[in-house]
Amino acid sequence: MSCFSCFSSHERRASKKYRGSKQGPVPASSSLRDPSPQSRPHNRTQPPLHQPPNEHSGKATTEATNNKAVIAAQTFTFRELATATKNFRQEYLLGEGGFGRVYKGRLENPDQMVAVKQLDRNGLQGNREFLVEVLMLSLLHHQNLVNLIGYCADGEQRLLVYEYMPLGSLEDHLLDLPPGQPPLPWFTRMKIALHAAKGLEYLHDQANPPVIYRDLKSSNILLDREYNAKLSDFGLAKLGPIGDKSHVSTRVMGTYGYCAPEYQKTGQLTVKSDVYSFGVVLLELITGQRAVDTRRRSEQQNLVTWAEPIFKDPTRFSELSDPLLKGDFPRKNFNQAIAVAAMCLQEDASIRPLISDVVTALSCLPVEPDTRFNSPVSTPSPQSMINAESHKSEMLAKEREKAVAEAIAWGSMSRNNSVH
């Protein structure tokens, strides 16, 4: 069966409801932020985490709190986290943004490396976003979501303690690389894309109630030493529509260049908004270019706008390849990844695939080089095994070639129909 056969039936399931992720609030009338150039329980004097009524977290989160849902996150004092980060030394700084700063730290008991996010009291992420993130990550658990270890709410201090991801963010390894830093290999890029999609799939299809992430971007995808990817920053997370509602109306928040056009224009949020953002990240992985980069020529500053005409012409697909890869990737897999990105980036949200369909499609792409035929010549191998392996390889090649053809045809037809 083709990996893309499910895309032609994207209307067969009702879109589920969900929440989003972090990054400062922006009024609907304002422009979004420009992304262009990251144990132990203590029951002391920490205030309890009460859920105030707010549109940001949604009814289900309020109900969970009213029912005294158990919050698994540990509490820390400010002194403990200051000790862990050596009083927030500059050399321990991992990154900063609208929310504040993230530091590397080491807990004493148990001995554990952590990342400590100190919220800027005058920054874009306020107390509501802090509360939402604690609630979200305490109740959501998946191998492709960052693990929240605990929090601090001493006085006016607001800090979050996460598992430490030693390789930092995808942005650090993909965009604006310094001289001498090798680019991410193609197969690693597809592995990261698959993991990010699986994280979204959990939020959309397995979390109960479903969650909209709302701020998917390369800087919010963190990597461990094996380049396993996890979604982070859930301050903007939002519960999806309830009952027969098709969307959630909310303030426009997120990062310019990653937000779905219908959400940016109307404030109407659906699961397909996350799918669009994923398409932008996948396009960044393919091209090695930022979603928005004002340093490029005017027609290339917005990555999606520049890529859209190329999506319609498969003979131009090579223009989308990251020049740092120097063509070191399987051409068929490259074309298939472009087809997936094009589908996710449809301007009409109803035409975009569900994230579960995206996971199915990306699962067809190898995440490591095929070394089955690279064994030394001296290694003996029965002729029957060679024949069987060769036949299997031919079948896989034909299946992937068919899938690519179907995906490209489907994407082109959908785009042409949307134009008319």
Q: Which residues are annotated as a binding site for ATP?
A: 117
Is residue 215 part of the annotated active site? The answer reads yes
Q: Which residues are annotated as a binding site?
A: 117
Torsion angles phi and psi, residue 145, rounded to 5: -120, 140
* Residue 314 CA from chain centroid, whole number: 26
C-alpha distance from residue 68 to each of 48, 65, 73, 170, 211 (Å): 11, 5, 14, 36, 20
Catalytic residue among 154, 172, 215, 322: 215
CA distance 74 to 232: 18
DSSP assignment letter at 61: H
CA distance 223 to 173: 10
CB contact at 8 A, 217 and 281: yes
Torsion angles phi and psi, residue 118, rounded to 5: -100, 115
C-alpha distance from residue 199 to each of 138, 169, 214 (Å): 15, 15, 13
Is the four-CA dihedral 219, 220, 221, 224 of positive or negative sign? positive
Q: Which residues are part of the catalytic machinery? A: 215
